[in-house]
Chain A
Amino acid sequence: MASTRLRIKSNTLPIRVESGDLIVPEEIGSKIENMYLTMEGTLRSVWGPLPYVPEYSTGGPLYATLYGIFHAVVGEDLSREILLVQEADTLKVFEGWNAGPGGGGTVWRNLIAPVGASDIKAEFGADDRPRFPTQFESTPTGVVIIPSGDNARPYFYDGRTILPLGYTSAPGAPVGHGPTTKGDREYDHRGAIGIPGGVAGSKAGFARIGSVSLDSIVTSDLGRLSAGAWYGAYQWIDIWGNLSPLSGRSAAVATPSSPSLLEIEDKRYLLFWEGIEPGPDGTVGRVFCRTKDTLNSGTVEMFRVPAGIVGRSPLNATAPDVTVQLGFTSIPDNITTTFPDNIPDDTLILQPKEVVAVSPFKLYTLAFGRGWAANFADEPGKIHPTMPGRWGTFLENEEIYPDPRGAAITGMLQVPDGLLAFTNTSTFLVSVSYGGEGFQSKTIHPRIGCVAPSSISMMPSGAAIWLGKEGFYAYKEGAIQLISQAIHKEVAEFNTARTIQATAAFDVREQKYRCWVPTNGSRKNNVCWEYDGEGWARRTDVMASAVCVTQDHRSYMLAVGEAQKSGQSFNDGVWLLDHQVQSWEPQARASIIQTSWMRVLRSEGRGSPMTVYLWLREAGSGTLTVEVERDWRAGIVQTTTATLHPTDDIPPFWDVAKWGELDSSGDPLTWKSRRPYWTRVDIHAPSAEVFRLKLTNTVSWEFLGLAFDEVPKTDTLRSAPK
């Protein structure tokens, strides 16, 4: 045995991240699995998850396949907390702890379901084909939801009401009547004529519509009414202010010229509109629009009939005009189908918004105070902004096709310099147009794209991260960079047929980007890759089909997907990561730190690693398994163990130590933080070219670093044989 004087000791290696490369610094491992980067900078074995709805005595809820989860806080004072999941073909909202059995309700209430109690009946066509997970976007007034499924369409939920987002169709055209078509007595409300069946002499008010031509030979206020023609149309408005497309124009309401001189004040017309359809659920009013007199005014444009009108008391012709405020729009209800129209042409000023119907789309995000929809069912390469603040109202001629070839949009993200839009193979930046009106897009990269919209997330550094075809990319300040070179070998194992379903979020406690991807032919997202801004590690505690971080003070990372309880098979559920309760013990899983091949750069001369020094933190009364591999072969040549606590200063253990006992120094036991310690194991890999250590445990342990010493054997005949 070599004397310790001849040993060479390595540096202390604080391994935190992994790489698949053969030649890497010894501070980088070859596999870091299920290890959590603590706030103190150590690696601790991952614990949890726990079912978000606990399995108390009654047992927790059972779930079908889950495709999406989202948390948002909405409302004027941010008082409404919303947690949504998509389970198979239903969209559910979390009703709270006490809503379950005994609370008279259900913990997860159906918002949308194909059958049974729900707010909306619909079927998304959810199945296990590769698709985007459910897409959610939080707006100041509610959440835009695009379920995952074959025929899903967007919805909007504000915490109380869920409805389809915006309007998918235009209302039918109204029918208008003037005095000549509805009979002189009924609708020719000229002040002097009595109402049929009414009190003789009572007046119907003063009509205000009609173009006047004064007769030049008459000096009094007599004149003639010119022939005129008016057209009407309307649009619906819903509770969130979304507008429908404008209905078709009515047929013309034509009036003839008056045959003789009239007192103009008394003889103008009143129009009458009917056939104004009530809108679908959620409609709270109609915006009625009308042309001016198209024969005399010189314009055929539509104008919004104002909500407040100036009128005169019907009973007193000499009374001053009064302003009547009807409401937020010209027809502030969704019941009436008629509109008596006495709005003079000169109050028609504002033109209606030219809105297009909402066709189904798959992606939605916020930027520039607008919603941006993309990947439309009819035009997958289109992105279309909404009106500012009206999250389901899309105006005509504002759409953008970032990719000139029209490739489908596969993701969007707001970044400081604009809106990033991706296709599978390219990246674009949408920004405010140089002209100051509208938006323009420019190509950021013609070959790098994004394959999974839910893999896009933002790091605190301001870098956007996403999964592209070749691996993970980061975008910052106009430049795209591949950040997953170190794990290229593992990225090559991703199931590329299903990377479209990858899902990611940024964990605020561990300060890591976490992305779940299907690996090695898996149909589920079975491996989570974590990036801390410098390197990668992986975990396998949950197969997440979607994740989110709660937007309240808890900042919990919630995942839906499969996890395994001890002694059971995998089950779908809603999971809280990095927390654990006694009532749900996860199936034992290995947490692993595997070093890279060490002494690579001096492997031309052999060496015998003798002792490994492990810098751990007190964890328990058990042991850590240390496996040794050598000479580039993945076969284990030695297995040994190290205690998970110092043997010379044994700490108190739960369920063993008693209050009032003395510690090994003779002092009373007190509450303490667990302390780091060194331990060592002797390993046996004589005259190795390279060697590798794998530290494994299935219970809790915590790692700070390691070091080893070796005896060089450069003079053996086995070194670099001829």
Chain B
Amino acid sequence: MSWKYPRAPIKANAVTDVEDINNALKPATEETFGQLNEHNWASSTQAVANGGAAIPITAIAEDAAFVYHSAGVYSAYSDLHTAPLNVADQEIQLWSGWVPLDNITLDFTCPQTLLWIHGSCQVDQALGGLFVSSMVRLAIRVDGQILTDSITGGAENDNDEVSGPLWLYHPLSTSFLLPVVSGTHKVELVFKTSGVGIAPSTTPVVVRSRELICLEMRR
């Protein structure tokens, strides 16, 4: 990386100038692909240093580069044949229909922007075994609507081994880019089970660790 330096000096008793402060920061942030400017400082650090109150995140200016939302649930691995479910585990019944995964739903308000949504979860069907486990699917649901192109997983044993019963432990992940209008939005990760072929599966699916990330890409 090349050496970069601030431009004009910032001195006591000079007039506070947004361009000078940006010129002082940009050389460094440019080199690290940052987008720091006067709009997205760590507001609380500054306020504390000045003896003031922290500034709520809603005070961030409209043209902040990115706003990050995320939620996750962690469940340590255990052998479900011998141990009970962890508290964080979510049991999905067979032939379930679309069920939201617990504790990772995101509700937020944003301006008109582009959302970059990533969802992932860990599936455990060890209890069922190969011949009585379910086919599983994962999708992103925004404001109650399933995003069809975000559906991942499988429904046919022959074709969809990865999410089918031949893989009793597996992760599923999906992502989607979606423009939204300004307002409040609800982003969920939803899950669905279905039986194997014509034989209904007899045991539920357990979803363990899971995470949902949504990035507002404002410019």
Q: Please list the residues of chain A having a beta carbon within 8 angstroms of any beta carbon in chain B.
A: 44, 47, 50, 52, 81, 97, 552-554, 576, 578-582, 618-622, 645, 651-660, 669, 671-674, 699-700
30 contacts between A and B (CB under 8 A): A44-B8, A47-B9, A50-B5, A97-B3, A578-B7, A579-B6, A579-B7, A581-B5, A581-B9, A582-B9, A618-B15, A620-B13, A620-B14, A621-B13, A651-B15, A651-B16, A654-B13, A656-B13, A657-B16, A658-B50, A658-B51, A659-B50, A660-B47, A660-B50, A671-B38, A672-B17, A672-B18, A673-B19, A674-B17, A674-B19
Secondary structure type dominating chain B contacts = loop
**A654 touching B2 in the complex, CB below 8 Å, given contacts A578-B7, A660-B50, A674-B17:** no
Q: Give the residue of B5, B12, B17, B18 whose beta carbon is less than 8 angstroms from that of A579.
A: B5
Give Cα A672–Cα B38 distance, bound, in whole angstroms: 10
1/0 contact trace for B2-41 toward A, CB 8 Å?
Answer: 1111111111111111110100000000000000001000
CB distance from B24 to the nearest CB of A (A): 10
Q: Kindly identify which residue among B5, B16, B38 contacts A576, using a CB–CB cutoff of 8 Å.
A: B5
Least CB separation from B22: chain A residue: A671
Nearest to B14 among chain A residues (CB) is: A620
Within the complex, the shortest CB–CB distance from A44 to chain B, in Å, comes to: 8
A552, A653, A660: the one contacting B14 at CB < 8 Å is A653
Kindly state whether residue B53 has any CB partner on chain A within 8 Å. Answer: yes
Taking A654-B13, A673-B18 as contacts, is the C-beta distance between A47 and B5 under 8 angstroms?
no
Q: Are A653 and B13 in contact (CB under 8 A)?
A: yes
Categorize the interface residue count of chain B.
20 to 34
The 10 closest A-B pairs by CB, nearest first: A655-B12, A659-B50, A671-B18, A660-B52, A580-B9, A621-B13, A618-B15, A671-B38, A620-B14, A579-B5
Contact with A along B34-61 (1 / 0, CB 8 A): 0000100000001101111100000000
Question: Cβ of B51 and Cβ of A700 under 8 Å apart?
Answer: no
Residues of B contacting A699 in the complex (Cβ-Cβ under 8 angstroms) = 11, 14
Q: Provide the residues of chain B in CB contact with A700, threshold 8 Å.
A: 8-9, 11, 14
Tell me the smallest distance from the CB of A565 to a CB of chain B, in Å.
Answer: 14
Least CB distance, A582 to chain B, in whole angstroms: 7
How many angstroms between the C-alpha atoms of A580 and B12 in the bound complex?
A: 15
Cβ–Cβ contact B50 & A645, under 8 A: no
Question: A217 → chain B, closest Cβ, in Å?
Answer: 83
A545→B149 CA distance, assembly (Å): 65
Asked if residues A52 and B3 are in contact (CB atoms below 8 Å), the reply is: yes
> Which of B16, B49, B51 contacts A653, CB < 8 Å?
B16
Contacts of B46 in A (CB 8 A): 659
Is the beta-carbon distance between B3 and A580 smaller than 8 angstroms? no
Q: Chain B's nearest CB lies how many Å from the CB of A702? A: 10
Residue contact A652 to B13, C-beta cutoff 8 Å:
no
Cβ contacts under 8 Å, A582 to chain B? 9
- How many angstroms between the C-alpha atoms of A655 and B9 in the bound complex? 14
Q: Select one of A554, A580, A653, A657 contacting B8, CB under 8 A.
A: A580
Q: Is there an interface contact between A654 and B4, defined as CB atoms closer than 8 Å?
A: no
Chain B residue contacts of A576, Cβ below 8 A: 5
Kindly state the separation between the CA atoms of A145 and B82 in the bound complex, as whole angstroms: 77
Q: List, in ascending order, chain B residues with CB within 8 A of A50's CB.
A: 5
Which residues of B are in contact with A by a Cβ distance under 8 Å? Answer: 2-19, 21, 38, 46-47, 49-53
Query: B10 contacts which chain A residues (CB < 8 A)?
Result: 654
Could you tell me if A620 and B15 are in contact, using CB atoms closer than 8 angstroms? yes
Chain A residue contacts of B15, Cβ below 8 A: 618-620, 645, 651-654, 674
Nearest CB of A to B34, in Å:
16
Q: Would A658 and B52 count as touching, CB distance under 8 A?
A: yes
Q: Could you tell me if B14 and A659 are in contact, using CB atoms closer than 8 angstroms?
A: no
- Whose C-beta in chain A lies nearest to the C-beta of B11? A654
A671 touches B5 (CB 8 A): no
Min CB–CB distance A616 → chain B (angstroms): 11
A554 to chain B: which residues have CB within 8 Å?
A: 2, 4
Contacts of A620 in B (CB 8 A): 11, 13-15
* Residues on the A chain within 8 Å of B16, using CB: 651-654, 657, 669, 671-672
Instruction: Write out the residue numbers on chain A whose beta carbons fall within 8 Å of the beta carbon of B11.
Output: 620, 654, 699-700
**How far, in whole Å, are A673 and B52 apart by their CA atoms in the complex?**
23
Residue of B nearest to A36 (CB): B8
Closest to B52 in A: A660
Smallest distance from the beta carbon of B74 to chain A beta carbons, Å? 37
Question: Across the interface, which residues of A come within 8 angstroms of B52, CB to CB?
Answer: 658-660
In the complex with contacts A654-B12, A659-B47, A673-B17 CB distance below 8 A? yes
CA distance A97 to B21 in the complex (A): 24
Contact residues in A for B38 (Cβ distance below 8 Å)? 671
Question: In the complex, are the beta carbons of A580 and B53 less than 8 A apart?
Answer: no
- Given A47-B7, A581-B6, A655-B12, 18 other A-B contacts at CB below 8 A? A47-B9, A52-B3, A554-B4, A579-B5, A579-B6, A579-B7, A619-B15, A621-B14, A653-B12, A653-B15, A654-B13, A654-B14, A655-B13, A658-B50, A659-B49, A672-B16, A700-B8, A700-B14
- A655–B5 Cα distance when bound, in Å, is 22
Known: A47-B8, A580-B6. A619 touches B14 (CB 8 A): yes
Q: For B5, B12, B46, B49, which residue has the most chain A Cβ atoms within 10 angstroms?
A: B5
Residue of A nearest to B50 (CB): A659
Least CB distance, A396 to chain B, in whole angstroms = 43
Q: B residues within 8 A CB of A47?
A: 7-9
CB-based nearest B residue for A94: B3
Bound Cα distance from A672 to B52, whole angstroms: 20
How far is the CB of B108 from the nearest CB of chain A, in Å?
25
Chain A nearest CB: distance from B141 CB in Å? 39
Contact A553 B18 (CB under 8 A): no
Q: How far is the CA of A621 from the CA of B8 in the complex (A)?
A: 17
CA distance A589 to B146 in the complex (A): 67
In the complex the two chains form, what is the Cα distance from A654 to B9 in whole Å? 12
Query: Given the complex, which residues of A lie within 8 Å of B50, measured CB to CB?
Result: 658-660
Chain A residue at smallest Cβ distance from B48: A659
CB distance from B9 to the nearest CB of A (A): 4
Residue among A47, A553, A659, A672 with max Cβ neighbours from chain B (10 Å):
A659
Chain A residue numbers with a CB within 8 Å of B2 are 81, 552-554
Bound CA–CA A619/B17 (angstroms): 9
A554 to B6, CA, bound (A): 12
Name which residue of chain B comes closest to A582, CB basis. B9
CA distance A576 to B18 in the complex (A): 23
Q: Tell me, in angstroms, the Cα distance from A515 to B47 when the chains sit together.
A: 47
A656 to B11, CA, bound (A): 11
Q: How far is the CA of A621 from the CA of B12 in the complex (A)?
A: 9
Question: Roughly how many angstroms separate A658 CA and B51 CA in the complex, as a whole number?
Answer: 8
Residue in B3, B14, B17 with the greatest tally of chain A CB atoms within 10 Å: B14
In the assembled complex, the Cα of A596 lies from the Cα of B30 at a distance in Å of 43
Min C-beta distance of A328 to chain B, whole Å: 35
| Bound CA span A214–B24, Å | 88
**When the two chains form their complex, are residues A671 and B21 in contact, meaning their CB atoms are under 8 A apart?**
yes
- B5:A660 contact, CB within 8 angstroms: no
CA distance A580 to B11 in the complex (A): 11
Chain A residue contacts of B8, Cβ below 8 A: 44, 47, 580, 700
CB-CB nearest in chain A for B21: A671
Expressed in whole angstroms, the minimum distance between the Cβ of B64 and any Cβ of chain A is 14
A127 smallest CB distance to B (angstroms): 31
**Cα(A579)–Cα(B3), bound, Å:** 12
Docked pose: A703 CA to B51 CA in angstroms: 35
The residue in B2, B21, B47, B50 that gathers the most chain A C-beta atoms within 10 A of its C-beta is: B2
